Amino acid sequence: MAYITAKDLSLGYETGVIVSGLSFSVNKGDYLCIVGENGSGKTTLMKTLLHLVEPAGGVIENGDGLLRNEIGYLPQHTVVQKDFPASVREIVLSGCQGRCGLRPFYNREEKRLAQENMERMNIADLADRCYRDLSGGQQQRVLLSRALCATRKVLLLDEPVAGLDPMVTVQMYDLIAELNKEGITIIMISHDIASAIKYASHILHIGDSIFFGTKEKYLESKEGRIFLDRQKGGVPVNG
């Protein structure tokens, strides 16, 4: 049984269905990249996988011992967070909130977990700094540490390199690849098709036509070739 199995999924809001007929599965240890053009429903798919949005049709099943709240999530930046007065430690600790239940305060175990994850992401020295003063790359590391506090199984990353400079982008990709090697399943939305092909094991292409399969198959497929050609041809699919 796969971690996540989507069967004939349709996505959308009241205003209409954006995508339909999505079927794919994510197994333990996979590195899945979701690619597609703007407005094709990538972020909606992500929210559906997190159970924040109900699917318009079809089902998502979790299996292989994955509970529905065991998916860590690296969201895109929100307006609220831009000037949020919070220290790095406070944010990383909040990743443990899900396991607290009704208990009001964090216990020693959770504080240790937060410290451990900050060290893994090389941000332990920033623990008392304010989140809004950090660089984009550092902020992403903070949010990754938080996600790792919430789960050790699956990470969902929504455009993790958006707005980062090229150097930091490479570091970020390496970091994610490293986590994947340690056995954490990665699902990532990306506009950066070149990196998706470099790092991912599976590709889900959504848009007018849908493709799901291993990256090797994607490179041979019709969708893959069209998409790649367009990016090479200098027409930015997204800046």
Partner 1 sequence: MDKLILYFQYPFVRYALIVGVLIALCSSLLGVTLVLKRFSFIGDGLSHVAFGAISIATVFNLSNNMLLVLPVTVVSAILLLRTGKGARIKGDAAIAMISVAALAFGYLIMNIFSTSSNLAGDVCSTLFGSTSILTLTKGEVWLCAVLSVCVVLIFILFYNKIFAVTFDEDFAKATGTAADAYNLMIAVIIAVIIVLAMNLVGSLLISALVIFPALSAMRIYDSFRKVTVFSAVFSVACALAGIVISILAGTPVGSTIVAVDVLAFAVCYAVGIAKGR
Residues making contact with partner 1 (CB under 8 A): 13-14, 47, 50-52, 69, 71-73, 75, 78-81, 83-87, 90-91, 93-95, 97-100, 104-106, 128-130, 133, 146-147, 150-151
Taking CA atoms, 11 is separated from 2, 32, 53, 231, in Å, by: 21, 19, 9, 26
Distance in angstroms (rounded) separating the CA atoms of residues 59 and 9: 6
Measured from the CB of residue 63, what is the shortest distance to partner 1 in angstroms? 18
Collapse the DSSP code of 194 into the 3-class scheme (helix H, G, I; strand E, B; otherwise coil) and give the result.
helix
Task: For partner 1, give the closer residue by CB, 85 or 166.
Answer: 85
Instruction: Give the H/E segment covering residue 225.
Output: helix 222-232
Distance in angstroms (rounded) separating the CA atoms of residues 188 and 195: 11
Measured from the CB of residue 18, what is the shortest distance to partner 1 in angstroms? 15
Taking CA atoms, 195 is separated from 54, 55, 168, 188, 201, in Å, by: 30, 29, 14, 11, 11
Task: For partner 1, give the closer residue by CB, 104 or 236.
Answer: 104
Measured from the CB of residue 234, what is the shortest distance to partner 1 in angstroms? 35
Burial class (CB in 10 A: 0-12, 13-18, 19+), 37: middle
Measured from the CB of residue 85, what is the shortest distance to partner 1 in angstroms? 5
Task: For partner 1, give the closer residue by CB, 31 or 73.
Answer: 73
Measured from the CB of residue 226, what is the shortest distance to partner 1 in angstroms? 32
Distance in angstroms (rounded) separating the CA atoms of residues 68 and 81: 25
Measured from the CB of residue 184, what is the shortest distance to partner 1 in angstroms? 15
Measured from the CB of residue 225, what is the shortest distance to partner 1 in angstroms? 35
Collapse the DSSP code of 52 into the 3-class scheme (helix H, G, I; strand E, B; otherwise coil) and give the result.
coil
Task: For partner 1, give the closer residue by CB, 129 or 230.
Answer: 129
Tokens of 159: 């455009």
Distance in angstroms (rounded) separating the CA atoms of residues 239 and 233: 14
136-150 and 108-120 helices, crossing angle to 10° = 140
